[in-house]
Amino acid sequence: MTKQQRADIRWALSDAFVDNEVDYAAIARQTEEFDRDEIKRILFEEVAPVCHSNLESTLPTIWLCFNRAELEDNIEKMLGAKKNSWFKRKANTLLVTWLKSRYKYIWIEIENQYQNISQ
């Protein structure tokens, strides 16, 4: 997977964290050609840690989408911090565990759309 493809996947997956109706079919179409385990990993280990707070706020601002350049920058900063700090790695591991539980439904919806595509 190229850097551009990874950025495109991150961008597509970020749509699951906006506070309007999510088009899971579009996310699946944009990511279907890649390994599903890797897509799931990117969802929970790269995108969700940066984007989840948008869904967690009690009075979220209505967002149609994230800023693409800012999203990439925030993910890369988070990954860099994790790489350079034992504490950040451990904290991130706990966060990802929670995100996988809290947002399991996102992955289920995407998987359901993959099945619809292949039928």
Number of domains in the chain: 1
So what's the pLDDT on residue 21? 86
Which mean pLDDT values do the consecutive 10-residue runs of the chain (119 residues) have? 95 89 94 96 96 70 68 93 93 95 96 87
Q: In which domain, by residue range, is 64 found?
A: 3-118
Contact 87, 53 (CB under 8 A): no
**pTM score of the predicted model:** 0.87
DSSP string, 80-109: HHHHH-HHHHHHHHHHHHHHHHHTHHHHHH
CB contact set of 28 (below 8 Å; sequence gap of 6+): 110, 113, 114, 116, 117
Six-digit token string for 22:
């999510």
